[in-house]
Amino acid sequence: MSTLLKYTLRIADNSLILGQRMAEWCSKGPTLEEDIAMSNIALDLFGQANGFLEYASKIDGQKTADDLAFKRDASNFYNFCLVEVENGHFGNTMIRSLLFDTFYLLFYKELSKSQDENLSALAFKSLKEIKYHFRHSQNWIIRLGDGTKESNKKVQESLNNLWKYTDEFFEIDNVDQIMIDQKIGVNTSLLKKEWTEIIESTINEAKLIKPSTIKMITGGRDGKHSNKLSSLLKEMQYLPRKYPNAKW
């Protein structure tokens, strides 16, 4: 697999898998407005994933964007471990979104300057949307953290639980290094400082406590996932796998 293909799939897979998780909220949102908000966010994420998968399909030369979404196994998905984590309660979903949205906001900002004009165009487009997502998750975490004793306790627990997945955002491996050297990819290790500042100021305002450093979990970007991803894919890929020639 070419380096550019893997790099593009990593971006696409984050949006696709988080989109699928957000879509699981459809019809189960805590209020009608939130149900609509989360479905809208899921749609944006699917749209972004589609753009990156179309580009990945072009690089691949054989597989279509649908093949890439529906015919890969978990070990060939390269999303962050964070985005496959189950939704849990609403506050848990919002913590997951806050951690991810903050990172993707910074990531897309940098990727929009990529020398690869396809990636830069898709990043610029996606950046407009992720700004909304970020405001949404940030506002909710401030509201829940600085809400009741119970809501504070719940989101604090979620923050403590999900913190271990955040180091993966800033890892640089061979694929990244080659892309950085070609001025295509983003040096995400340089985004850690700003990400930490935004997260710290948000959790301060939300009267939450930053979790202490714990053992981090990574590997998603190389296809090492929890069995939660397989369950997610089983549902997401059911129809095209069961009826390979189905058209919709």
Query: What is the binding site for other proteins (CB under 8 A)?
Result: 33-34, 36-37, 40-48, 50-51, 54, 117-118, 120-122, 124-126, 128-129, 132, 135-136
Of 56 and 175, CB closest to other proteins:
56
27 Rama class: left (phi>0) / alpha (psi -120 to 50) / beta: left
Of 104 and 165, CB closest to other proteins:
104
Q: Residue 131's closest CA among 156, 161, 102?
A: 102
Residues 6+ apart with CB under 8 A from 173: 221, 222
What is the closest distance, in whole angstroms, from the C-beta atom of residue 75 to other proteins in the complex? Answer: 27
What is the closest distance, in whole angstroms, from the C-beta atom of residue 218 to other proteins in the complex? Answer: 27
Reduced to 3 states (helix: H, G, I; strand: E, B; else coil), residue 22 is helix
Residues 6+ apart with CB under 8 A from 139: none
Of 54 and 194, CB closest to other proteins:
54
Of 22 and 82, CB closest to other proteins:
22
Cα distance from N-terminal residue to C-terminal residue, the chain? 29
For the record, the structure tokens of 179 come out as 């892309």
| Rounded-to-integer distance, Cα 64 and Cα 59, Å | 10
Q: Residue 214's closest CA among 171, 166, 172, 170?
A: 166
Of 243 and 248, CB closest to other proteins:
248
What is the closest distance, in whole angstroms, from the C-beta atom of residue 237 to other proteins in the complex? Answer: 19
Of 55 and 80, CB closest to other proteins:
55
What is the closest distance, in whole angstroms, from the C-beta atom of residue 212 to other proteins in the complex? Answer: 34
Residue 164 neighbours by CB distance under 10 Å: 17
What is the closest distance, in whole angstroms, from the C-beta atom of residue 157 to other proteins in the complex? Answer: 26
For the record, the structure tokens of 140 come out as 């909710």
What is the closest distance, in whole angstroms, from the C-beta atom of residue 7 to other proteins in the complex? Answer: 17
